[in-house]
Structure 1
Amino acid sequence: MSQTLPPGHPAIPPKRVGVLIANLGTPDGYDYWNMRRYLSEFLSDRRVIDYPRWKWQPLLQTVILAKRPFTSGANYKSIWNNEAGESPLMTITKAQTAALAAELPEVMVDFCMRYGNPSTESRVKAMIEAGCDRILFLPLYPQYAGATTATANDSFFRALQGAFRAPAARTVAEYFEHPAYIAALADSVREAWDAMDTKPEVLVASYHGMPKRYLMQGDPYHCQCQKTTRLLRESLGWEKDAIHTTFQSVFGPEEWLKPYTVEHVAELARQGRKNIAVVAPAFSADCIETLEEIEGEIREAFVHAGGETFTYIPCLNDRPAHIAALAAIIHENLAGWI
């Protein structure tokens, strides 16, 4: 039923439900200043680097950000989507959003980035202005970690603080063991396996790393990664030693979760495992860590140690099975709202 507003009353948009998906983020460009802005925001997050600010910020702003934007920028340049003028992560996240919008016509679907653009704050504001009085927030991280899921949620709730009419809000929990996610992951591995002439002797499931002390402090990420690997192996019907769990992207001097992917693949080659494949179950979309680190540094370590065939199995990206899995997870969390 339409509502007649008195003269001078501000317009009231029709009420609707919003679904906001969030990914890690990307620089706007690979030049020095764009990289510096992005890295400064990322590495200033206390969920990512929890060293005391008085100690960390001077080091970050003077030493690290004087050099790292050049090396990181070169890495981004090597994978940049020049046609679209953006990083692959941005391109893929846009495609995921469009696919989910088609799958969920009853809600408004949008995306944000924890670091960089579009910011969480800007997209929450846009959703509220569009009439969303209920927003479901989905961090695109299958496994929970303080440095990923939690900081994305932090950013979402900060964005709600400034709203005159704050919407009802829900966040989606980690989905590392959701049957639809595991099935989509297993399907991607089977498809890759069927397309290979030389079958790998080992599948390496490489997850983003974190300092070991986070595990000791109670972060469940390590355990959830291990369970994802086990469920993937069981879904494939493989033997226990057919898939190895490893961790990549080590940063700083302290010990991180082991085994390190770059060292493990080299050791596999030295042991005579000449043909391997690598999958990255912690990443919902291909990005710098997969397209440059796995396809570059990790591949090179394997070949240099004597390996012959190295196959990277892409992330689930906007595969139909992945979109269907995310849509199912969203529907489960929208109960009572639609």
Structure 2
Amino acid sequence: MGNNVKTGVLLVNLGTPTAPTAKAVRAFLGQFLHDYRVVDLTRMLWCPILHGIILPFRSPKVAKLYASVWMEEGSPLMVISRRQQAALGQMLQEAGIDMPVALGMSYGEPSINTAWQELKAAGVDRVIILPLYPQYSVSTTASVFDSWARIMKKERRLPAFRFIRDYHDNHGYIKALAESVRASWQEHGQSDLLLLSYHGIPKRFEDQGDPYGQQCHRTSELLAAELGLAPHQWRTTFQSRFGREEWLQPYTDKTMESLPAEGIKRISVVCPAFSADCLETLEEISSENKEYFMKAGGEQYVYIPALNDNQAHIRMMMDLVCREIA
């Protein structure tokens, strides 16, 4: 490609309700749970369950959880994602790289199409798509690709594009995680166990070829090695299961309840699959699972925040992006 090609970055995350209300949560969950990549049941079976049971009963409960973590500027995921977008844009600019950065969400606003229209208006004709999911899954990363493909169907002139599938073993990502763990240990003291909790997926997805679980375990191994941990000093678990079928195990909540009986009373918890703090980290891990652990006899529970907009994380994003145009 010639030097006149203008490149833009499209950051993508999952999305969030616009407000901590039952109505806003229902709209968000309706779009999210309608995605066949997320729930692959036949629509004739799934839609009556979704609209007749799940959305009416779950939305008010989830809205209360969102209200417990809502920030003055809005949803934590949106606030942090905007900070990431601004920080990456500034870092590229300071490096003398003219590359606009847009933010899109798989569900809700700003949509992936809204972000693409921003880049298009800026004269971009090559796009680097960076889904902010370190580990690939059909239910997250593949859904981003589906959305992009649907948007491109309407375009007369397709931009060139690069799609960053995952970065679960990227050295900059592992080092950034290690820095965050060390900083927490320096503040709170090193715990008996570092627990790495990843968002779960149905076990069936893995059986059908989704590499997510394998990539999570690889991330854990690399982080443990970077920190110099022995096997008994760290453990991988999976959180946020939904429905009755088996998901990837061991489950985070069940592990929390059993650790004190094993003599593990002081733990640190990090969630390497989340690039930004959100409901699943701030409420489910930092609050709900802490309660399980402490009630079971735990003595110290420290949640290590997601990488969010810290400099090492943004630098890793810039390295990933610049590698695609080298």
Relative to the length of structure 2, the TM-score reads: 0.96
Code of the residue aligned with 2:207 in structure 1: it is M
- Of residues 314, 322, 326, the one that matches 2:317 is 326
- Of residues 147, 169, 175, the one that matches 2:167 is 175
Code of the residue aligned with 2:22 in structure 1: it is Y
1:8 is aligned to: none
Matches within 5 A, 1:28-39: 28-39=18-29
1:95 aligns with 2:83: yes
Distance in 2 separating the partners of 1:265 and 1:313: 16
Deviation for aligned residue 1:164: 3.0
SS in 2 for 1:330: helix
Deviation for aligned residue 1:129: 2.0
8 Å Cα contact 1:249/1:289 also seen in 2: yes
1:118 aligns with 2:118: no
- Whose Rg is larger? 1
8 Å Cα contact 1:137/1:156 also seen in 2: no
1:310 is aligned to: 301
Distance in 2 separating the partners of 1:266 and 1:200: 17
SS in 1 for 2:125: strand
Distance in 2 separating the partners of 1:323 and 1:125: 24
1:239 aligns with 2:230: yes
Code of the residue aligned with 2:109 in structure 1: it is N
Deviation for aligned residue 1:296: 1.9
8 Å Cα contact 2:102/2:116 also seen in 1: no
Deviation for aligned residue 1:15: 5.7
Matches within 5 A, 1:119-268: 119-197=111-189, 199-268=190-259
8 Å Cα contact 1:202/1:243 also seen in 2: yes
Report Cα offsets for 1:77-106 as digits up to 9, x if no partner.
Answer: 00001x21x100001000000110011122
1:73 is aligned to: 63
Aligned residues: 319
SS in 1 for 2:259: helix
Code of the residue aligned with 1:65 in structure 2: it is L
SS in 2 for 1:146: coil
8 Å Cα contact 1:139/1:153 also seen in 2: no
Distance in 2 separating the partners of 1:142 and 1:37: 27
Report Cα offsets for 1:198-247 as digits up to 9, x if no partner.
Answer: x3100100000011111111100000000000000100111112110000
Code of the residue aligned with 1:53 in structure 2: it is R
SS in 2 for 1:63: helix
8 Å Cα contact 2:167/2:173 also seen in 1: yes
Distance in 2 separating the partners of 1:34 and 1:196: 37
Code of the residue aligned with 1:280 in structure 2: it is C
Distance in 2 separating the partners of 1:129 and 1:167: 13
Deviation for aligned residue 1:152: 1.1
8 Å Cα contact 2:194/2:235 also seen in 1: yes
Distance in 2 separating the partners of 1:236 and 1:74: 37
- Of residues 258, 273, 296, the one that matches 1:282 is 273
1:26 is aligned to: 16
Root-mean-square deviation (CA), in Å? Answer: 1.1
SS in 2 for 1:137: strand
8 Å Cα contact 2:194/2:267 also seen in 1: yes
8 Å Cα contact 2:102/2:118 also seen in 1: no
1:9 is aligned to: none
Distance in 2 separating the partners of 1:15 and 1:228: 35
8 Å Cα contact 2:80/2:308 also seen in 1: yes
Distance in 2 separating the partners of 1:182 and 1:115: 28
Which stretches in structure 1 are left out of the alignment for 5+ residues? 1-13
Code of the residue aligned with 1:75 in structure 2: it is L
Report Cα offsets for 1:2-46 as digits up to 9, x if no partner.
Answer: xxxxxxxxxxxx962110000010000111211111000001111
1:60 aligns with 2:50: yes
Distance in 2 separating the partners of 1:192 and 1:181: 17
Distance in 2 separating the partners of 1:303 and 1:196: 17
SS in 2 for 1:138: strand
8 Å Cα contact 2:152/2:158 also seen in 1: yes
8 Å Cα contact 1:128/1:167 also seen in 2: no
Distance in 1 separating the partners of 2:242 and 2:168: 24
Distance in 1 separating the partners of 2:131 and 2:110: 14
State the 4+ residue runs in structure 1 displaced beyond 4 angstroms: none
Code of the residue aligned with 1:156 in structure 2: it is W
Distance in 1 separating the partners of 2:155 and 2:120: 8
8 Å Cα contact 1:142/1:175 also seen in 2: yes
Deviation for aligned residue 1:120: 0.5
